[in-house]
Amino acid sequence: MKNEESLAFATIEELAALLAKRKISPVELTEMFLRRAEQGNPALNAFLTVTAEHALASARQAEKQLFRRRSSHRERHPLLGIPIAIKDNIWTRGIRSTAGSKILREFVPSQDSTAARKLSRAGAILIGKTNLNEFAYGITGGNAHYGPVHNPWALDRISGGSSAGSAVAIAAGLCAASIGTDTGGSIRVPSAFCGTVGLKPTFGRVSVFGTMPLSPSLDHVGPMARSVADAATLLGLIAGRDPLDATSSSRPVEDFRNALRKPIGKFRLGRPREHFWEKLDPEVRRAAEAAVHAMQNRGAAIREVSLPHLKESLDAATDISLAEALHVHEAAGYFPARAAEYDDEVRHRIEAGGKVPAHRYLAGFDVRKRLLAEFDAALKSVDAIVTPTVPVPAPLIGAESVGIEGAQFGVRPTIVGHCRPANFTGLPAISIPCGFTRAGLPVGLQLIGRAFDETTLLRIAYSYERANDWPTRHPRQ
């Protein structure tokens, strides 16, 4: 059996192979991750609920199935015996699902979300629910009710949010993978800050049923993982049409994992003229430029593309998210009836939704059409658009501004600015590790692709990942 350190940072594929060969049992693997969660969570605050009893019962059942020596078990249950975590705004039947809020502190769903149900059917073992910004309404990983999530690379730094605990649990070796949500970068930002892989699929590719909504026009559910291959595996399991979610697409679900085995050859990357490459921390610029150059050396063609309505879209997306968040919380009966139970920052954002006039909300969708047309035009000449995921390394916890090129900018708008366009257009986007700052903080590279073409996006990301050793580096325990 491998030592604990190598097991904790192994990929799903590696763990599945060890389980199949009986080098380790599902119970031993689950006990190891639970032990690491118990030891690491007090400092990291990645988990709100650790489901030890539930996980061990699932592990014992998985062990029985694996030890029957039936190869069909692995085919029908590709995650059999693999311990994962799920963000706490995603329902899990019989397990507390707080959405990081005081209002839902004791909420225990009577049914699974579609994503949780599909993972359970695939054999995954749920070891816990991860911490997040309250109601997923934030980007730093801070939570006034349950405390902030700490970055495992530097505990005084933010993890990014709102899928904060999910990225941290993966990066620190507390679980094998996780599922998060992304409304304005909430999968990709913490993935970039924590050195993990995060994929926001095309809007409608994955059902959002059973997920506490934030802004239904922008909400996505997606995989967070240790490798591109793991993200591809998870996406294939949770994607697909869901009769419980009217926004889910009936587009066929491809075999994303097997597609990675096909050589990609030469591909074309679009580098936007506007916004993404303009104001960057020097170390982020260095790492991202080096990543683009490395892909170019491996045969990628780099072309400049133009997205003139990009900056206009940032305000339009904000108007949509503010208005929709207010409607969601009013419809749920939480606001204004229970306004006192919200954190001040979250309550102020929800209140701000009432200041967005109808004409401005509707105008936002006109901007969306224009920007999507520009992305579609650009993606006819390139296979993906490449940008830094976030323009700065992880800021200090509690920082209100960050410095870039001698000027100060607000933390929140700086962090969401590169990720929100993919939510606004609904296009798929992935963040992959592309380097570290001199202080040892991870840097992420973002690839944005064509609608429902996650396959190409994953293949490009995989080709870069295989040529670099970034995923093999882990925070000191």
Supply the residues annotated as catalytic.
87, 162, 186
Give CA–CA dist 167/468, Å, rounded: 20
13-to-10, 76, 167, 175 alpha-carbon distances in Å: 8, 15, 19, 14
Cα radius of gyration rounded to whole Å, the chain: 21
Report how far residue 223's alpha carbon sits from residue 205's, in angstroms, rounded to the nearest whole number.
12
Going by DSSP bridges, is the β-strand pair 401-404/407-410 parallel, antiparallel, or unpaired? antiparallel
Q: Which two tokens stand for residue 423?
A: 């939510």
Element (H, E) at 71: helix 71-76
- Three-class SS of residue 357? coil
> What is the rounded CA–CA span in Å between residue 92 and residue 51?
11
Alpha-carbon span 48 to 99, nearest angstrom: 10
* Residue showing tokens 């204004």: 336
Q: Which helix (H) or strand (E) holds 155?
A: strand 154-158
Spatial distance between the Cα atoms of 45 and 24, rounded to a whole number of angstroms:
28
Would you tell me how many other CB atoms lie within 10 Å of the CB of residue 373?
12
> What is the edge-to-edge ordering of all strands in the sheet holding 429-436?
47-50, 125-130, 83-87, 178-182, 220-225, 197-200, 429-436, 442-448, 384-388, 268-272, 301-305
**Residues facing residue 368 across a β-bridge:** none
